[in-house]
Amino acid sequence: MAKENQSFHNFESEIDLQELNGLDMGRILHSTNACINIVNHIAEEMRKNLTKKIVSSNSKISLIIDESTTKIIYLRTCVANTSMTSPVNLFLDLIELQSVTARGIFNSLLATLLSYGMTEEYLRNNLICVACDGAAVMVGRKSGLKKLMSEQFPSVIFWHCANHRLELAVADTVKEVSGINRFKAFIDKLYALYHASPKNSRELQICANLLEVQLLKVGRILSTRWVASSFRSVSAVWENYEALVEHFDQAKQDTSRDQKERCM
């Protein structure tokens, strides 16, 4: 943020200098707020034009939603009479929730869809599926969003997001297999070793360059991030194995390090 503020102040100084030289710099894009407002306006108009095309072509749609205090809405569709050959996911909106109850989520979701020109009749005929997490407020049979949506749009199918189900399955497996904890501790130690030390990171990069391998970033595993993030971290260790071994071999013989570091 400090770098962004510095860059903006430099930009303002350049504008002031050019105006002193007699150059007409206009009246727009002289502040971050103006830039943000223009970009947001263009993005909103593009989304409205896209949804208008979807509605006019009577295309079937599905919704992918995730919520906490804000709600992310993705639209999955294949627009008829276009070059699309398979469904695509399109970002629709990010909205603040006034209420995190099922009724509050339903009202905000419906209001957002209506604001983009999707009438209730269109949704009743073309909304096929809603994918979300398995929280009770979303898929609860008695008072969840699923019940409210089914009352309004009887043909809609609710689908417990496969990514969330995978996360739950992996979490249950980790609890049952104690050996995974040792593996997790090992990968986390590698992450801390290079994340907290620019010196170690620089030396590892030198080893990778000597071995002519592309260095991948080692991250944490089985933490708050998605399973895909854990997979990338494990893959990074696998692909960087030769460079890691070379760096360890050099580090254990580095007399500038203390005994504890060399033993590690």
For residue range 157-169, list pLDDT tens digits in order.
998 888 888 888 8
Mutual orientation of helices 227-239 and 241-252 as an angle, nearest 10°? 60
> What value does the mean pLDDT take over residues 205-220?
88
Report the Cα 4 to chain-centroid distance in Å. Answer: 22
Q: How confident is the model at residue 4 (pLDDT cuts 50, 70, 90)?
A: very low
Q: What is the pLDDT of residue 120?
A: 92
Mutual orientation of helices 162-176 and 179-195 as an angle, nearest 10°? 110
Please provide the average confidence, as pLDDT, over all residues in the chain.
Answer: 84
Among candidates 104, 108, 117, which has minimal Cα distance to 59? 117
Fold of 57-160: Nucleotidyltransferase; domain 5 (3.30.420)
* Residue 231 pLDDT > 70: yes
Residue 225: other Cβ atoms inside 10 A: 14
Single-letter amino acid code for the residue at 35: C
> What value does the mean pLDDT take over residues 16-36?
72
Q: Give residues with Cβ within 8 angstroms of 8, minimum separation 6.
A: 32
Q: pTM for this structure? A: 0.64
Chain position carrying tokens 């627009």: 79
What is the b/e burial string over 42-65, where b = at least 16 CB atoms within 10 angstroms of the residue's CB? Answer: eeeeebeebbeebbeeebebbbbb
Mutual orientation of helices 145-152 and 102-115 as an angle, nearest 10°? 50
Q: Are 145 and 136 in contact (CB under 8 A)?
A: no
* Residue 81 pLDDT > 50: yes
> What value does the mean pLDDT take over residues 101-126?
91
* Residue 204 pLDDT > 70: yes
